[in-house]
Amino acid sequence: MNEITADATAEAYDDGDTLGGRITRARDLAGLSLEDAASHIGVTQDTLSEWENDRSEPRANKIMTLAGVLGVSPAWLISGAGDPPQVPGISVAVDELSGEINRLRELALQITATVEILDSRLLALTRAINE
């Protein structure tokens, strides 16, 4: 990979945050306290706090555990690559809106089909009247 491509790739993945910042953001969005998250991950609160404040970094096996507990990908935690965690209320709202849009699309298809049927009947009636 040449230097320009490497720089562009790094910029594409750089979300402007650190590993610790991403851990904190994901924990907050997951609605976990420092105590609860540390317990689920199997570390002390002090250890998790050290990671969140970028004073130390978790080992690879703990990155995997962190990602699972926080509901994010290990790649996002490490580098910011991929989808960041979403606010739960937003993802629910997006799902609801998507469902409503799909329902409206189905209704639009039904309306179009009904209009074509009625148009065909009107044409047949018009012909019958003119004959």
Whether residue 127 sits in one domain with residue 111: yes
pLDDT the model gives residue 116: 96
Gap between the Cα atoms of 47 and 68, Å rounded? 18
Question: What tokens were used for 82?
Answer: 């991929």
Note whether 66 and 97 are same-domain residues. Answer: no
Residues of the chain with pLDDT under 50: 1-12
Residue 5, pLDDT score:
41
Q: Are residues 128 and 64 in the same domain?
A: no
Question: pLDDT, tens digit, for every residue of 8-28?
Answer: 333 445 567 899 999 999 999
Same domain, 29 and 70: yes
Note whether 12 and 68 are same-domain residues. yes
Q: Are 39 and 68 members of one domain? A: yes
pLDDT at 3: 47
56 with 99, same domain: the answer is no
CATH number for position 52: 1.10.260.40
Task: Give the per-residue pLDDT at 112.
Answer: 94
**Residue 4: its pLDDT value, please?**
46
The number of domains in the chain is 2
pTM here is 0.57
Residue-number span of the structural domain to which 67 is assigned: 3-79
